[in-house]
Structure 1
Amino acid sequence: MEIIVLPDPDAVARTAADIIEERVRRGPSVLGLATGSTPLGTYRELIERHRHGLSFAEAQAFLLDEYVGLPAAHPESYRSVIRREFAGHVDFAADAVHGLDGEAADPAAEAARYEASIAAAGGVDVQLLGIGTDGHIGFNEPMSSLASRTRIKTLTEQTRRDNARFFASPDEVPEHVLTQGLGTILEARHLLLLGLGEAKAAAVAAAVEGPVAAICPASALQLHPHVTVLVDAAAAAELAHTEYYQYTYGRKPAWQGF
């Protein structure tokens, strides 16, 4: 796990975009896309790079999760959000961005279908992740199995409160979601976790310096061989070893890459 502490959200967005661009320029790619506020700067940076020649025409993308009960056309469905914030501004092929069907009559069958579609695409090359204030990634809430697969989950009240800003009222936030599981996420070849702001500091510290435990789902990333954690100064506030992370990043060989 490489932990990189950067001065501000813009620096995090640029570095995350560097990692994604490098993979996309190598040829056909499978990207894992996250929603929420944290990745938006990265998406804006990638859109700007697309305007200057970066193409996603050979890339596919899979979304992490989706609200149960929201139609695809709802403005807060994650398929709508990704289209609005990123995919609709670059040159993905028409059928290249894949999402879960929140209206599926059989959520378990939909979860199995989605797992199979990721596998059929060859797996995810770079999975972009945010982190919740309680340490969740995707919608794997605290106490999720570290081996979990794509499935239906019930949101905590904390997560619903955190997401209420996207809806007209907190009561409109769905109680259930379909989400890739921690075991599914850990199968991606490169995990890219972003943390921004003081509100995420405790979760970031628990995820990267605490024990691997279901109470902090993001701590499962410690089990993965290729994880890059990008945090701004505020999100790094509770890390105990910031000086070491800065020392090693400052002396990283140019050939090593991300």
Structure 2
Amino acid sequence: MRIYKVKDYAEMSRKAAAVMAAQIVAKPDCVLGLATGSTPIGLYKQLVEWYKSGDLDFSEVTTVNLDEYKGLPKENDQSYYYFMNDNLFSHVNVDKSRTFLPDGTQPDAEKACTEYDEIVRATGGADIQLLGLGHNGHIGFNEPSDVFKKNTHCVDLTESTIKANTRFFASEADVPRQAYTMGIGTIMSAKKILVVASGADKADAVYKSFFGPITPQVQGSVLQLHPDVVVVADEAALSKCDL
């Protein structure tokens, strides 16, 4: 695991975007594993800037996203499908027929999860998987648990995650209570993993994930077992780590 300590969110975004851009340049037909949430937005903006300046080409890229809320249609402005189009896909030359997310509109959880696992397998898996880190150490929507779940599954979101996501909705009552998410086995099968973290409110999760015991109660801790992890985090997020 390589940990890059940067000054602030802006530097984190540029540094992490450079790691992802290097993957695209090295392998133009790569599979990018993508994430949503507030932390990766700056990274996506930087990738868009480099595309517009002619430095990046997404035409052969395939993408697979970590998760999607269950029950939200694609046109809902809080769906992760909408988020990805708004922050990246609509601004670059990616072939949208090769951009994949779990189908949040599929009410049959088993069917939705099985189908998404088949899609990810068919792509060959992510060459690089981008991850944020939840306040409780979750990656994707893999919440604290007694086990590490291997495959895509339907999760009941914890109260802390619901509260953290309330800022994106009109009220807490509007936040979906379930989501479809890649399992830990799928995430860990990525050839390379890129983790971004910013802010003092993530300091506990960063410390427990990368310097604490490996436990499904802190799902991010499993990343300690992956052979190629790059963490880009700002000073505030790393404030509890002895680096």
- TM-score w.r.t. the length of structure 2 is 0.97
Residue 52 of structure 2 corresponds to residue 46 of structure 1: no
Q: Hey, what does 1:105 align to over in structure 2? A: 107
CA distance in 1, matches of 2:107, 2:170: 26
Task: Say whether the 8 Å CA contact 2:59–2:94 is kept in structure 1.
Answer: yes
Task: Say whether the 8 Å CA contact 2:71–2:107 is kept in structure 1.
Answer: no
- 1:117-176: CA deviations, max 9, x gaps? 111111100110000110001000011632421000000000000000000001100100
Residue 12 of structure 2 corresponds to residue 23 of structure 1: no
Q: Hey, what does 2:131 align to over in structure 1? A: 129
Runs (5+) with no aligned partner, structure 1: 243-258
Q: Identity of paired residues, percent?
A: 39
Match for residue 211 of structure 1 among 210, 213, 222: 213
Task: Say whether the 8 Å CA contact 1:5–1:233 is kept in structure 2.
Answer: yes
Stretch moving more, 199-208 or 11-20: 11-20
Task: Say whether the 8 Å CA contact 1:123–1:187 is kept in structure 2.
Answer: yes
Task: Say whether the 8 Å CA contact 1:129–1:192 is kept in structure 2.
Answer: yes
Q: Residues 31-42 of structure 1 correspond to what in structure 2 (within 5 A)?
A: 31-42=32-43
Q: Hey, what does 1:255 align to over in structure 2? A: none
Q: Hey, what does 2:8 align to over in structure 1? A: 8
- 1:201-228: CA deviations, max 9, x gaps? 0000000000100111000101100000
Q: Secondary structure of 1:95's match?
A: helix
Q: Hey, what does 2:159 align to over in structure 1? A: 157
Q: Hey, what does 1:141 align to over in structure 2? A: 143
CA distance in 1, matches of 2:189, 2:96: 26
CA distance in 2, matches of 1:83, 1:69: 18
Query: Which 4+ residue blocks in structure 1 deviate beyond 6 angstroms?
Result: none
CA distance in 2, matches of 1:105, 1:154: 14
Q: RMSD in angstroms over aligned alpha carbons?
A: 0.9
Q: How many angstroms does 1:87 deviate by?
A: 1.0
Runs (5+) with no aligned partner, structure 2: none
CA distance in 2, matches of 1:42, 1:95: 23
CA distance in 1, matches of 2:150, 2:99: 23
Amino acid at match of 1:214: P
Q: How many angstroms does 1:101 deviate by?
A: 0.8
CA distance in 2, matches of 1:4, 1:12: 9
Task: Say whether the 8 Å CA contact 1:200–1:235 is kept in structure 2.
Answer: yes
Amino acid at match of 1:16: A
Match for residue 237 of structure 1 among 231, 236, 239: 239
Q: Secondary structure of 1:3's match?
A: strand
- 1:1-34: CA deviations, max 9, x gaps? 1111111111111111111111111221100110
Q: Secondary structure of 2:130's match?
A: strand
- TM-score w.r.t. the length of structure 1 is 0.92
Q: Secondary structure of 2:96's match?
A: coil
CA distance in 2, matches of 1:21, 1:145: 34
Amino acid at match of 2:4: I
Matched length: 241
Task: Say whether the 8 Å CA contact 1:145–1:182 is kept in structure 2.
Answer: no
